[in-house]
Amino acid sequence: MTDLLEVRDLRTWFHTDRGIVKSVEGISFSLRRGEIMGLVGESGSGKSITGFSLIGLIDRPGRIEAGSSIRFGGRELVGLDERELRGIRGKDISMVFQDPMMTLNPVLKIIDQIGMAIRAHEQVSDAEIRRRAVEALDRVRIVEPERKVDQYPHEFSGGMRQRVAIAIALLHRPRLVIADEPTTALDVSVQAEILKVVKSLVAEMGTSLIWISHDLATVSSIADKITVMRRGEIVEAGPVRKVLDAPRHPYTQALLDALPSRSQPGELLASGATEAAGRLDPSKLSGTAVGAPADPQFIQIRHIDKLFQRPAGLLRRLGMQLGLASEPARVHAVKSASLSIARGEILGLVGESGSGKSTLGRILCGIIAPSAGTVSVGGEPVMQGERKRGTKVQMIFQDPFASLDPRRTIFQSVAEGPIVHGLCTKAEARAYVERWLRAVAFDPALANRYPHQFSGGQRQRIAIARALAMQPEVIVCDEPVASLDVSIQAQVINLLMELRRHLNLTLLFISHDLSVVHHLCDRVVVMRHGEIVETGSASEIFHAPKQPYTRMLLDAIPRLAS
Amino acid sequence: MASFIIRRLAQALVVLLVMSVLVFAGVYVIGNPVDVLISPDATQAIRQQVIEQYGLDLPVWQQYLQFLQRLLTGDLGRSFVFNMPVGTLIAQKLPATLELTLIAVFFASGIGIPLGVYAGYRPDSKTSRLIMAASILGFSVPTFWIGLMLIMVFAVQLGILPAGGRGATRELIGVPFSFLTLDGWSHLILPALNLSLFKMSMICRLAASGTREVMLTDTIKFARAAGIPERTILRRHVLKLISIPLVTVFGLELGSTLAFALVTETIFSWPGLGKLIVDSITSLDRPVMVAYLMLVSALFVVINLCVDLAYALLDPRLRHGKN
């Protein structure tokens, strides 16, 4: 008996009012003691539901169907009652989730949360809880654990919170840990640290690990074997090397091809989703930038500073005079940033969270006013006082779910701006909007639907059409592919490249994903703590970085082992 | 934290000042108390004398300034009708109302929160549906009708509880309270229940929707994945996470119950503030009205301050003043 976990014909179905959703449909796999399995798939593939099925946390109307079998350490888990399952959860099998901001309770101290997890399975004294909490934090390499146990989650950074979550998951030295996208919400450098910590802990404790992720690169850096899921079924399984080097299933091949890091920079990515969306139709598109002369200093950003500070109230100012109160806290988001972008260029702006890259993007777009410095596009300032001038600069945001008004149809969302700014009349709006929707390969017949009826990739294309309809010369893209699956991501990247070529657009592409930036951008600017630390062409930055910070970021990128 | 409290107290002063102007002006336009105070057949000389005695011949702003001046020295004026200091008058009636409302509000939370958490935890069970339906009834049926029904059933039909009054009281720090005697409780229970029904339903629904929302978060999934028993999850995680909206409503309701326990007090002949204020309005007893309204605004300000402090206690993210 070498297998710790043996899953046979697992089927997890959700019995909803509108029919049965077969989230997991007859999958089988096994896991040996100490083995690490990467479970890969895109959203909706059933990979997370598989994880929840293993730990017995399927909520109604979902249930594990009869005939399924999950044998763990020789014991059948399917059909156990809630009390028995609770005895296993956290003790023998534990789980870590995606968003460390959400998993820890914000209103409880770390020590209380650890204490509850310990007391779930053991009777222990308060002193023992403290000793073990400190030990647990120390194990995940949190410095000063004696002090940190008495703090609240909001006093920790994202990466530290995820470490605390991992520490809680490992409290009872479980035999199996299920990690559901544990590093997706984190910066690359933090992700690299977490991967290192998890790898060494798992090896030290002899724990088996199932690492669920949409990111093949991360998975390949930690796992022994890979299982690829699609629409509730396993399409391919095998050792990491074999799956990556010689994928047998076309879906695995497609996933690999869609990765920007696997193709030549600047080339269109192979993407089934792009083909499925149909050809984009750039004909009949007018754009103010088409045919404009080259201008290496098209966008000029000069000595931009941005200070976020709440204005001091009357009482506070009085208190400050008397020396009783201090100035309101302030955040120096951007410090004396200067850069220029040539017409038709794609400039990548990279940095970790809190580096000020989004703030700089918003300043360029004229959404927020800088505290000092000027921004001009084509020689004209973007802002006049506190107000934005013109429609030359548009923006695309990270979350296509949040950036479209759920109560407006696609047509209404896209048409609003052009009508207000006189780019088309109300009567022409229908034809005008259709032209731009076609430009992003979106079927104009669907324009009367609402955003919730579309997938993430479709919504992001709508958001792009909305920006384009304003006939901008510059588009600021703030992490436009961060929340998308790889194949959809490839589709959006392809779209941006095509549009740039046809419409002579200038793009500022803000991203923390360096492989996407490498693929798409001509030049790259690296930001850290509000300052620009390095600027150079994409090949310079990626092949001969000068700054240690840039090098650190590059080293942290998980790569497909080759 | 200290600067926060100072700032809030400064704001409170401004609120009270504005309130005093509004109250004074409002009461002034209701009518002339002289018409009520003096019998119609009094001579003009007596009329004039009374008017001067109460300072009613002065311009409004002078009357206001006088009132403000007296207020600052703690003198709320004398009641026209009872001819005694308003402060004493209110102090006599306040404990009864305070007792009734506090017990009602604690009934409301003590019963409403557990029921709500249960209904939010098992939204599909029959009991939960019953709770939620009853809660709709609880805040749509008028208070006075439920009060009358309670008296009908428990006092008239069954005859196990008295229909009104305060019952036997016992003194605590020189003030009589009913809740210290068994007879007092038997008088207290019906009006307190009546007064709490609306609040109970509201708190129950609020707790239910909060619990439903919290139960779906990753925090709860993570706690379950760690094998923590459901009861601990509800007690330690859920209760703390839903507490902020509950405290808000608790504070608001405590204030409004204190101020407007009127209907219940009338039905159950509870000798509280409600009766006093109604009488003073009908007899245009200005000092009592003004003092009562000022007291209510001060209560609201104090309760809201306490609520804000409770937020900081409940949510560590607010305690540090930054997000």
Buried b (16+ CB within 10 A) or exposed e, A376-413: bbbeeebbeeeebeebbbbbbbbbbeebbeeeebbbeb
pLDDT in tens, A159-200: 889 999 999 999 999 999 999 988 887 888 888 888 998 999
Give the pLDDT confidence score for residue B322 in this predicted structure. Answer: 40
C-alpha to C-alpha distance for A457 and A453, rounded to whole angstroms? 12
Q: Please tell me whether the peptide bond between A61 and the residue prior to it is cis, using omega within 30 degrees of 0.
A: yes
Give the pLDDT confidence score for residue A501 in this predicted structure. Answer: 85
Query: A89–B237: do the CB atoms touch at under 8 Å?
Result: no
Write out chain B residues lying below 8 Å of A164, CB-based.
Answer: none
A149 Cα to chain B: minimum distance (Å)? 14
Share of chain A above pLDDT 90, in %: 38
Give the pLDDT confidence score for residue B323 in this predicted structure. Answer: 35
pLDDT in tens, A233-253: 999 999 999 998 899 999 898
* Residue from the list B229, B321, B323 with its beta carbon closest to the beta carbon of A86: B229
Of how many residues is chain B composed?
Answer: 323
* Residue from the list A119, A152, A165 with its beta carbon closest to the beta carbon of B316: A152
The mean pLDDT of A341-352, rounded to a whole number, is 91
* Answer CATH for A3-43+57-223 from 3.40.50.1220, 3.60.20.10, 3.30.980.20, 3.40.50.300: 3.40.50.300
B86 Cα to chain A: minimum distance (Å)? 35
Query: A116–B6: do the CB atoms touch at under 8 Å?
Result: no
C-alpha to C-alpha distance for A75 and A64, rounded to whole angstroms? 16
Split at pLDDT 50, 70, 90, the class of A273 is low
DSSP state, residue A535: E
C-alpha to C-alpha distance for B306 and B312, rounded to whole angstroms? 10
pLDDT in tens, B99-126: 899 899 989 999 999 999 999 999 889 9
In angstroms, the Cα distances linking A286 to A5, A282, A336, A423, B277 are: 60, 9, 36, 11, 74
* Residue from the list B221, B227, B321 with its beta carbon closest to the beta carbon of A97: B221
C-alpha to C-alpha distance for A380 and B191, rounded to whole angstroms? 73
Q: Is the minimum CB–CB distance between B226 and chain A shorter than 8 Å?
A: yes
The mean pLDDT of A253-277, rounded to a whole number, is 75
A114 Cα to chain B: minimum distance (Å)? 10
- Enumerate residue ranges in chain B where pLDDT < 70: 1, 31, 36-37, 260, 319-323
Query: B226–A315: do the CB atoms touch at under 8 Å?
Result: no
The structural domains of chain B, ordered by start, are 2-72 (no CATH), 92-319 (1.10.3720.10)
Q: What is the DSSP string of A489-502?
A: HHHHHHHHHHHHHH
Q: Residue B8: closest CA among chain A residues belongs to which residue?
A: A315
The mean pLDDT of A18-31, rounded to a whole number, is 90
> Token match 């888990």: residue?
A77
Token pair recorded at residue A455: 């997938």
Mutate to test the interface with B, among A103, A151, A330 (most CBs of B within 10 A): A103
Give the pLDDT confidence score for residue A488 in this predicted structure. Answer: 80
Which range of A220-229, A379-388, B26-35 scores highest in mean pLDDT? It is A220-229
* Residue from the list B218, B315, B323 with its beta carbon closest to the beta carbon of A99: B218
The mean pLDDT of A365-372, rounded to a whole number, is 88
Close Cβ partners of A298 (under 8 Å, ≥ 6 residues apart): A340, A341, A342, A343, A345, A377, A378, A473, A506
Range of lowest pLDDT (A291-300, A321-330, A355-364): A321-330
* Residue from the list B217, B232, B317 with its beta carbon closest to the beta carbon of A116: B232
pLDDT in tens, A119-137: 999 999 999 999 999 999 9
Give the pLDDT confidence score for residue A279 in this predicted structure. Answer: 61
Split at pLDDT 50, 70, 90, the class of A280 is low
pLDDT in tens, A491-505: 888 888 888 888 888
Query: B219–A95: do the CB atoms touch at under 8 Å?
Result: no
Helix extents (H) in B73-181: 86-121, 126-140, 143-150
For helices B86-121 and B126-140, angle between their N-to-C axes, nearest 10 degrees: 150
B111 Cα to chain A: minimum distance (Å)? 24
Q: Is the minimum CB–CB distance between B229 and chain A shorter than 8 Å?
A: yes
Pairing of strands A506-511, A330-341: unpaired
Residue whose C-alpha is closest to residue B154's, from B168, B165, B164, B144: B164
Residue whose C-alpha is closest to residue B187's, from B103, B257, B259: B103
Q: Is the minimum CB–CB distance between B10 and chain A shorter than 8 Å?
A: yes
> Token match 């080259």: residue?
A294
**Taking a C-beta distance cutoff of 8 angstroms, is the pair B286, B81 a contact?**
no
Split at pLDDT 50, 70, 90, the class of A324 is low
Q: What is the CATH number of domain A299-556?
A: 3.40.50.300
* Residue from the list A105, A107, A154 with its beta carbon closest to the beta carbon of B314: A107
Write out chain B residues lying below 8 Å of A91, CB-based.
Answer: 227
C-alpha to C-alpha distance for B87 and B75, rounded to whole angstroms? 7
Give the pLDDT confidence score for residue A284 in this predicted structure. Answer: 60
Q: Residue B7: closest CA among chain A residues belongs to which residue?
A: A315
In angstroms, the Cα distances linking A450 to A405, A432, B163, B232 are: 9, 19, 59, 42
DSSP state, residue A120: T
Domain with CATH 3.40.50.300 in chain A: 3-43+57-223, 299-556
Q: Is the minimum CB–CB distance between B246 and chain A shorter than 8 Å?
A: no
Task: List residues bridging with A200 in a β-sheet.
Answer: none
Task: State the CB neighbour count (10 A cutoff) for residue A187.
Answer: 20
Residue A318 has pLDDT above 80, yes or no: no
Write out chain B residues lying below 8 Å of A60, CB-based.
Answer: 124
Split at pLDDT 50, 70, 90, the class of A283 is low
